[in-house]
Amino acid sequence: MMKFRRSERLIDMTNYLLEHPRQLVSLTFFADRYGSAKSSISEDLAIIKETFEQRGIGTLQTVPGAAGGVKYSVKVSDDEARPFISGLCEVIASPERLLPGGYLYMTDILGDPAIVQKAGRVFASAFADADIDVVMTVATKGIPLAYAVGAYLNVPVVIVRRDSRVTEGSTVSINYVSGSAKRIQTMVLSKRSLEEGSKVLIVDDFMKAGGTVNGMISMLEEFKAHVAGIAVLVEAEKAEERLVDEYLSLVQLADVDVKEKKINVTEGNYFRHKNG
């Protein structure tokens, strides 16, 4: 069998761990992969752990014993999250984003994989130690962020739709009241896509009064599943009756003044609530 130098092992193990977040990888797996002694692998992992933690890449958790191994989790330090979130606030505050009716154009932000991945990393970091089986979102705009979070947490993503499609098989449909427009709307989820008892992290791009998120919570009840957390990229302030209490947001729209073409944007509740 081919032997690997330490430097090669460190590079390949780094790539392997980054590609397999929240998965327990046994020392034997790496020892076999490189034809190395487990003691060398242990030393490699100690170096990787130290560097990952010092450079803010993530954490490595070592699980001792015969069934043990090592598990990488995404960890974003406040020092890394802060400039990202304030950069996001700045981008969103641009007056060119104002659309008729006080809506904001955010399609370009949600279309930038680098931003979406980073936001996904930040949320995954906040929920890295939570017990989560599935990420759920509603079509369409929240989908990329939901996948980014799902990939970093190593869990599948289920997508609630507004309409039923033949390719979904049998579905469960619920009605809900959209909080801001007070309209009755429908959402639909494929029966096969969610197991009873699943612990679900709800992810969406935008939350105003919280009607859509609340609809997803009702949907979870239909499936006897549980809310493990709620993460939204942008929340609008001044929602007179917020339908949802506990959630994590990166950005808060404090004020949209269509006349003056001014958008007032502040940090969301991420830093205050991520450990609560």
Binding interface with a second copy (CB under 8 A): 6-8, 10-12, 14-15, 18, 47-48, 50-52, 54-55, 57, 99-101, 103-108, 111-114, 116-117, 139-141, 143-144, 147-148, 150-151, 154-159, 161, 166-169, 190, 192-193
Query: Which CB sits closer to a second copy, 57 or 187?
Result: 57
| Residue entry with tokens 């390719």 | 167
Alpha-carbon span 129 to 22, nearest angstrom = 9
Alpha-carbon span 177 to 248, nearest angstrom = 22
- Contacting residues for 239 by C-beta, under 8 A, at least 6 apart: 179, 180, 208, 209, 210
Contact 147, 157 (CB under 8 A): yes
Alpha-carbon span 248 to 50, nearest angstrom = 29
SS3 169: coil
Query: Which CB sits closer to a second copy, 54 or 275?
Result: 54
Query: Which CB sits closer to a second copy, 103 or 246?
Result: 103
Residue 52 CB, nearest distance to a second copy (Å)? 7
Query: Which CB sits closer to a second copy, 126 or 155?
Result: 155
Strands 69-74 and 58-63: antiparallel
Residue 238 CB, nearest distance to a second copy (Å)? 18
Residue 17 CB, nearest distance to a second copy (Å)? 10
Task: Specify the amino acid at residue 165.
Answer: R
Could you tell me if residue 116 is left (phi over 0), alpha (psi between -120 and 50 degrees) or otherwise beta? alpha
Query: Which CB sits closer to a second copy, 228 or 275?
Result: 228
Query: Which CB sits closer to a second copy, 14 or 26?
Result: 14
Residue 7 CB, nearest distance to a second copy (Å)? 5
Residue 272 CB, nearest distance to a second copy (Å)? 27
- Give the single-character DSSP code of 77: -
Residue 131 CB, nearest distance to a second copy (Å)? 18
Q: How many CB atoms lie within 10 A of CB 188?
A: 18
Residue 246 CB, nearest distance to a second copy (Å)? 25
Query: Which CB sits closer to a second copy, 159 or 265?
Result: 159
Q: How many CB atoms lie within 10 A of CB 173?
A: 13
Query: Which CB sits closer to a second copy, 192 or 273?
Result: 192
SS3 130: coil
HSE-CB of 104 using CA atoms within 13 angstroms? 27
Residue 106 CB, nearest distance to a second copy (Å)? 7
Q: Which two tokens stand for residue 147?
A: 């996948």
